[in-house]
Amino acid sequence: MRVTVRSLDYLFVLRPTLFFPVWTVFLANYHANLMFEIRSVEAGTSSDSLVTAFLVTLLLGSSFILNQLADIETDRVNDKLFIIARGHISRKTAIVEAIILLSIAVVFAFFVNYLLGWMFIVTYIITGIFYNFKPFAWKNKPILGVIANFLGGVSVASTGWVAAGSTTCRFLLYSLPYAFGLVAVYFLTTLADIKGDDAARKLTFGVRYGFRTSIRWALIFEMLAMGFALWTGDYIILIPTCMAFPLFVMIVLTENLNLALLTVKLSVLFTTLAVCMVYPYYLLVIIVLYYFSKWYYKRRFNIQYPRFAA
């Protein structure tokens, strides 16, 4: 059984729990297209959406591997994401896996939709290469890190529209509340790693501007997400942003790190549950992956992960 659990390292190095927000944003915008787009062509089929969602998963899974390869030293300091950092999977093997996933995703994306293929290439260049590696290394630069996460949110949201058969650029407007909401959460995710990132000379937004400024910008971007959600009339993102907003306010008032980390998880949960109202079977997928992940991390490393506690 131990060998079997170890073999799952090649799956969990993709950080499958990060697929929750990816799938959620994809499905929300697939539904938004069906609701708001004036249809001049036949909408994409459900099978098209499943194939596209699978390809998006492979693409961003490859990108997540690149992120870990670039952060090996800081992950050791921060004691996290240790599958590559601690050598459970070698760098060479991780690179090969990333290349294979990227190749499959991009090649088949062009078969699904020519525009989708080019969107995948641009997304990977931004989130995989520019974000992680020198001379760009946007993740180590406060403003460029924000821009990269914003563009990543736009990209994932856009794929949902394309999968549904979009023929216009309206997805750029409807992706904005998701992109602003993602950046709001991103500000909070930089807070726990300030010490380790500073020691590794990673100039993230949290390191450069500090805890207090970061949480205030998180609140501002959450307000922008609510505003654009109200403007577009997309209730799937409007409801969860309104639910999360009081938490962002409390973070600013209390300056509590644990509350900030909990808000990251609750923001994703609120949006996910809103999507499950439209696609109920998605909840089953989440439950299965959540408990499968808990089983893996407990058996493999004897840790409790994922969990809602901060």
Q: What is the pLDDT of residues 266-284, one digit of tens each?
A: 999 999 999 999 999 999 9
Indicate whether 155 belongs to any domain: yes
Indicate whether 93 belongs to any domain: yes
What pLDDT score was predicted for residue 36? 86
What pLDDT score was predicted for residue 72? 84
pLDDT beyond 80 at 168: no
Query: 229: burial class by Cβ within 10 Å (0-12, 13-18, 19+)?
Result: buried
| Cβ pair 138, 28 in contact under 8 A | no
Burial 194-220 (b: 16+ CB within 10 A, else e): bebbbebebbbbbbbbeeeebbebbbb
Indicate whether 36 belongs to any domain: yes
Please count the other Cβ atoms lying within 10 Å of the Cβ belonging to residue 132: 21
Which amino acid does the sequence have at 266?
Answer: L
Is the torsion defined by CA of 252, 257, 258, 264 positive or negative?
positive
Indicate whether 160 belongs to any domain: yes
Which segment of 193-197, 206-210, 242-246, 295-299 scores lowest on mean pLDDT? 193-197
242: number of CA atoms within 13 Å, CB side? Answer: 11
Share of the chain above pLDDT 70, in %: 93
What pLDDT score was predicted for residue 40? 45
Structural domain of residue 189, as residue ranges?
2-301
Cβ partners under 8 Å of residue 63, min gap 6 = 124, 127, 128, 131
Indicate whether 54 belongs to any domain: yes
**DSSP state letter for 43:** P
Distance (Å, whole) CA 265 – CA 245: 13
Q: 3-class DSSP state for residue 68?
A: helix
Distance (Å, whole) CA 69 – CA 206: 21
What pLDDT score was predicted for residue 55? 95
| Cβ pair 232, 36 in contact under 8 A | yes
Share of the chain above pLDDT 90, in %: 69
Indicate whether 308 belongs to any domain: no
| Cβ pair 267, 229 in contact under 8 A | no
Taking residues 58-87, report their average pLDDT: 85
- The pTM assigned to this predicted structure is 0.89
Indicate whether 271 belongs to any domain: yes
Taking residues 248-265, report their average pLDDT: 96
Indicate whether 49 belongs to any domain: yes
Query: For the chain, what is the domain count?
Result: 1
pLDDT beyond 50 at 41: no
Is the torsion defined by CA of 18, 19, 21, 26 positive or negative?
positive
pLDDT in tens, 94-143: 999 999 999 999 999 999 888 889 999 999 999 899 999 988 889 889 99
**What is the domain-level CATH number for residue 187?**
1.10.600
